Structure 1
Amino acid sequence: MDNPNPKKTLSTIFAPLAMAAGLIFFQAYMIAPLIPKLATIFNVSEQRIGLIVPAYMLAYGVSVLFYGFLSDKFGRKRILQISLLAFIVLTAITALAQSASQLILLRLLTGLGASGVVPMSLALVGDIFEPSERGRPLGLLFAAMEGGMALGSTAGVMLEPYTGWRMLFLATAPLAALALWILVARMGWKQEPHKSGHSLKKMLGGFYRLLAFPRGLRTYLFVFWNGIFHSGIYTWLGVYFVQKYDLGPIEIGLAILGYGLPGFFFGSLIGRTADSRGRYPIILIGLATAAIATATLALEIPVLVAALAVTLISLGYDLTQPLFAGIVTELGGKTKGGQAMGLNVFALFTGFGLGSLLFGELLKLGLNRTLIIFAGVQVVFTIVAAQLLKTEIKLSTK
């Protein structure tokens, strides 16, 4: 049939979409805990090798703007598959890096190639589901990402002593290839692009219109800060547990085991709750939880308490970012959903990149002071959110 039920079609490709999203976040998050070990392997400072995180995140964030525009012009399917293929090839090549500089460059190129998969998946949800129905599918996609985060942050650093860091990349590529093969086999639904005379000027104009409305501007600003805050904390957790508790790779993996698990187990529930009760209270709880947990890390606490705080920081992300993504799907509508989601991922991943850089620079002031600074700014954003996000109490059903 030429025009099958879009919701039924999405259900047939949801598993490989979730698999691809999970693998992208797996390889993104397995890197940061390895920073102390990679610094030793390549004989460079932790700050130097730490550039592998912002190199990937910033490239991912910038290029996704153009993926969103191109998907509105050519269709989600084509862009999603090309981006996933680029991720597969570049992830495999990364295992061949012979120096810190090569590794940084390959991470940058991987960010450029991989950044079309997740936003196109999210945009497909926005195309197909009404605003009041998006919480559950968005929650499931974010659960897959959180599962990738949890597995990557823990399994990567724990397996590295046995497999070596190169094998972590080599093993990821064929799994992503399997997801691509399933997608190509099942994507019989041909989504037509939204043809409306696309040009660079129109693309920039579309971004301007998304930011011109107060709801759009404040949403993207909160997404940007969310990226700065959570990446800043997460990127340097390996260094945190080495400096404060002198943990080895396996112990670090166990300490951050809880990172990503809340979203993996409760992502769908969080989405359904947002659909029924509104986003506002959930977002506030998420922002406040992350602030308190981060401040706790700056205290002299047992390692088990620190591990619990890490899990609560992850929960703070799970209670906020999927809900911000839900707002974004409403901003672009069905014709500009790719651009709206592209701008969302741009804000998030440029925040990720800048957050890791900023936290690394602030480490000159001391680890505990840096944690307090990040927690303090998070408190400010929580207070601001309490005033600016009141309109998110009820979801629009238009």
Structure 2
Amino acid sequence: MTVLQEVAPPSVGFATERRMLALICSAAFLVFVQTFMVAPLIPRLSTVFASPIGWVALAVPAYVVPQGIATLWGGPISDRFGRRGVILVSLLLFAVLTAVTASAERVGEFIVWRVVTGVSAAGIVPIGLTLIGDVVPFERRGHAVGWLFGAIAGGTATGAAAGALLEQLVGWQSLFLGVATLCALLAVAAVAGQALPLLPRPVAGSRRAVMRGYLNLLSQPRARRTYGYVMLNAILISGVFTWLGVYLHDRFGLDGVGIGLVLLGYGIPGLVFGPLIGRLADRYGRARIIPLGVALTGLCALLLALPLPLNGARVAIVLLSLGFDLTHPSLAAITTDLQGGRGQAVALMAFSLFTGFGLGSLLFQLAMVLGFAGALMLFGVVAWVAAAAAVFLFREERPRKTAGR
């Protein structure tokens, strides 16, 4: 069976590697600020657009699901044209479309711009992760991936907090314009500082070869369980997190400022402990870390279903972030080590992740017929069952005795 083959890249040097990681982490931070600043804005945008909350909430899956689908071609395109070019073009398009989103006057327009912006984002974080896989050896890749997902966690927290805290001061349009400006400046800095290395391109094949590459990946048991847990983990995290703004408003009567202050805690564990968690995964393996993270996600959902005081909810939200930090970076590092084209392997991981984000929001919305407590209990029980299964499924993800791949 023909698959895309990797071309071993030359050493880029530690200084270049650090510049590359700083650029990719900064871009990931901004992408996730834009992604998650919408969630706490749902009640406000419902008023602005004179539209039901259920319709406005569709802006979340309308962004992440097209992004997930687009990643399936983003990886092969980066195999053909190079990682650096795809990342830079995607970052510029993302900046332009994020700015244009601020012009929406109706909920339909807003959702359409979210769709095309999600497609443009498909070439940023997933291809950045692929580039990390190209450059950083597997025996210390977890540390680098930890930095990346620490930035993602920080962007998630900052976006959620900024959406709630700053909207009342500057308006929702200014939030989008601010992110767009920072993305454009980052793209200019990336070109001027040559932050992204130009590597030899992998040998890219035809469309038929691309399809065979994906089928080859899915034929591997290690790949199937990894992608399955990427999607399941994203569903569980996103389902709870996307609705936290509405939950805090309904449960505690918080306004935008109060919601923002609570959500600010989400992402702190990733910023503080992300690289450390990655280093521990490199040293001790991922066999225990992945089940622990999924179990912690379930625990947080169950805690939020209880009549906790506000401070208790704050703690549960912080721990929910830690659950993601324990699981997804480890799963992402595994995808960079699968047999086959790395661009396609990471693209399929990103597809699973962003599709899971969209499905999580929709499924939690459907589960709301049980009320907030019932929906949270359902998600928590599913997470605990998945954690128990993960102990068995990921038991072989242990440290390697020899360096290299």
**Residue 372 in 1 paired to residue 380 in 2?**
no
| Cα distance change of structure 1 residues 395 and 60 upon mapping to structure 2, 3 Å threshold | farther
For residue 96 of structure 1, give the secondary structure of its aligned residue in structure 2. coil
State how far apart, in whole Å, the 2-side matches of 1:169 and 1:271 are.
32
**Residue 194 in 1 paired to residue 196 in 2?**
no
State how far apart, in whole Å, the 2-side matches of 1:50 and 1:60 are.
17
* CA shift for structure 1 position 293: 1.0
| Partners of 1:332 and 1:339 within 8 A in 2 | no
Unaligned runs of 5+ in 2: 1-8
For residue 319 of structure 1, give the secondary structure of its aligned residue in structure 2. helix
* CA shift for structure 1 position 14: 2.5
User: TM-score, length-normalised on structure 1?
Assistant: 0.96
Q: Answer with 22-31 or 4-13: which moved more.
A: 4-13
| Partners of 1:3 and 1:189 within 8 A in 2 | no
Match of 1:174 in 2: 181
Alignment of 1:54-69 (within 5 A): 54-69=61-76
| Identity level (%) | 42
Alignment of 1:123-272 (within 5 A): 123-187=130-194, 189-196=197-204, 198-272=205-279
State how far apart, in whole Å, the 1-side matches of 2:257 and 2:373 are.
23
| Cα distance change of structure 1 residues 173 and 374 upon mapping to structure 2, 3 Å threshold | same
For residue 66 of structure 1, give the secondary structure of its aligned residue in structure 2. helix
Deviation digits for residues 117-160 of structure 1 (CA, Å, limit 9, x no counterpart): 10111111111122111011111111111111111111221010
* CA shift for structure 1 position 246: 1.1
Match for 1:325 among 332, 337, 340?
A: 332
User: TM-score, length-normalised on structure 2?
Assistant: 0.95
* CA shift for structure 1 position 8: 3.4
| Cα distance change of structure 1 residues 395 and 345 upon mapping to structure 2, 3 Å threshold | farther
| Partners of 1:7 and 1:128 within 8 A in 2 | no
The amino acid across from 1:73 in the alignment is R
Match of 1:340 in 2: 345
The amino acid across from 2:356 in the alignment is G
| Partners of 2:21 and 2:144 within 8 A in 1 | no
State how far apart, in whole Å, the 2-side matches of 1:364 and 1:3 are.
55
| Partners of 1:328 and 1:344 within 8 A in 2 | yes
Match for 1:51 among 55, 58, 77?
A: 58
State how far apart, in whole Å, the 2-side matches of 1:332 and 1:80 are.
23
The amino acid across from 2:350 in the alignment is V
**Residue 381 in 1 paired to residue 389 in 2?**
no
**Residue 394 in 1 paired to residue 399 in 2?**
yes
Unaligned runs of 5+ in 1: none
Q: Kindly tell me the number of residue pairs found equivalent between the two proteins.
A: 394
* CA shift for structure 1 position 7: 4.3
State how far apart, in whole Å, the 2-side matches of 1:106 and 1:227 are.
23
Deviation digits for residues 267-308 of structure 1 (CA, Å, limit 9, x no counterpart): 000000111111111112111111111101011110110111
State how far apart, in whole Å, the 1-side matches of 2:101 and 2:77 are.
26
| Partners of 2:12 and 2:135 within 8 A in 1 | no
The amino acid across from 1:190 in the alignment is L
**Residue 93 in 1 paired to residue 104 in 2?**
no
| Partners of 1:60 and 1:115 within 8 A in 2 | yes
Match of 2:119 in 1: 112
| Cα distance change of structure 1 residues 141 and 226 upon mapping to structure 2, 3 Å threshold | same
| Cα distance change of structure 1 residues 394 and 168 upon mapping to structure 2, 3 Å threshold | same
* CA shift for structure 1 position 192: 2.1
| Cα distance change of structure 1 residues 251 and 202 upon mapping to structure 2, 3 Å threshold | same
